[in-house]
Amino acid sequence: MKNKKPSGAVPAKFELSFLAPRFWGTWLLLGFLRLMTVLPRSWVMFLGARFGDIFRCSNEKRRRIAEVNFELCFPEMSPEQRQVLLVDHFRAYGRSLLDMGLTLWGSEKKLKKLVELEGFEEQQKLVAEKNVLAITWHLTTLELTGLLMTMAGPTVSMMKSLKNPLLTWVVARGRGHLSDLKLMNREAGIRPLIKGLKSGRQCILLPDEDFGFRGGDVVYVPFFGVPRAMVTTPGRIAKATGAAVTLCTSRLDPTTGKYICTFTPPLTEVKGEDPVADAKAICSAMETMIRKAPEQYLWTFRWFCSRPDGSESPYDPVPAT
């Protein structure tokens, strides 16, 4: 018998078991992240960069994946330039981890001091008037980006439960603590998202994972000049709901500790009629936004694992640890 897909919202209730000794380390980590929200921004930027340096030097696997991605996507750069980009990327990643507390506990007043919003009012108006599919990608600033996106109006999105149930509760709570957010199980598929859209909620989606090698419904389109697998989900959702498709990214200025969050006008090219055209439009628009701060995309992921011609992954062999 096949297992049924999970349905319904992600469980996000506090449980007394979270006070057990096995979670004490997690509570210490959460306390550290809470501390980061009250320290001067210059301290957080410095400590985050050092944390990123440690991660880069200690994790050969992720470092090698990022190096392969940079070789593929930035062939015009010299090896020395790509090394600088590598260092900057891991430092951006370290800063984003220390800024997790902003997502989990940051007040609207505090965020207004730290975030410059571009196109937010237009996004709010659009959400109030029609169905909206709001797309972002796996950025180092993802958690904060997602939080800001939910503040544009009632939202539905998906989340994969973490191995640590305490963290699942904390992250789910944090993502919606300033908004009306309904989080659905990722394993349930897109039907709950379509249902949420039709009920008047904007839908947040991250369609940049490589599902090609898993037999997903994908097309291959250029990203930084390299073919990558893109799921056709955005176009299918847009066609089924008549939703306008917008993009959102955030980038951190490490010199000031402030973020710039940008919402785009609707992508009129995404209509759900041509999967390749839809994916090209999304990929091209997102690449343009990523190029403003290229070190702040999550280059430690295997974005080009599956190849359109079925050839070997460019990451093979990758260190096991």
- Identity of the amino acid at 187: E
- Supply 144's token pair: 């904060």
> What was the pLDDT predicted at 9?
66
> What was the pLDDT predicted at 211?
86
SS3 for 264?
coil
In order along the chain (321 residues), what is the average pLDDT of each group of 10 residues?
49 86 97 96 98 97 97 97 98 97 93 96 96 96 96 94 91 91 86 92 94 80 96 93 96 97 96 93 96 97 93 78 53
> What was the pLDDT predicted at 215?
65
Closest CA to 228 of 77, 69, 13: 69
For the beta carbon of residue 5, count every other beta carbon within 10 angstroms: 12
What's the rounded Cα separation, in Å, for the pair 76 and 201? 43
> Do residues 189 and 201 touch, judged by C-beta distance below 8 A?
no
Characterize the bridge pairing of strands 218-223 and 226-231: antiparallel
> What was the pLDDT predicted at 6?
46
Closest CA to 126 of 148, 154, 147, 156: 154
> What was the pLDDT predicted at 186?
80
Half-sphere exposure for 179 (CA within 13 Å, toward CB) = 26
What's the rounded Cα separation, in Å, for the pair 103 and 105? 6
> What was the pLDDT predicted at 1?
32
> What was the pLDDT predicted at 291?
96
